[in-house]
Amino acid sequence: MNTRHAIYKERGLAESLPPRSELFALIAAEPNLLRRPIVRRGKKLVIGFNKTALQNL
């Protein structure tokens, strides 16, 4: 989750996340709530821009 997004802060998502179906609907309406990029290589996963972690994939 993008903890800097206004909706994340307004809805208090740091304290508690809504039910899964509601969360997916919220992300579908506001895709920027997801931190990007999301990169997977084999069993390794990097979420968000972390240059070192991406280079180590």
Residues 3-46: tens digit of each pLDDT = 999 999 999 999 999 999 999 999 999 999 998 899 999 999 99
pLDDT for 50: 87
Q: Is the pLDDT of residue 48 over 90?
A: no
What pLDDT was estimated at residue 20? Answer: 93
Amino acid found at 23? L
pTM over 0.85: no
**Residue 9: exposure state from Cβ atoms within 10 A (0-12, 13-18, ≥19):** exposed
pLDDT attached to residue 49: 87
Q: Which token pair is 43?
A: 């069993």
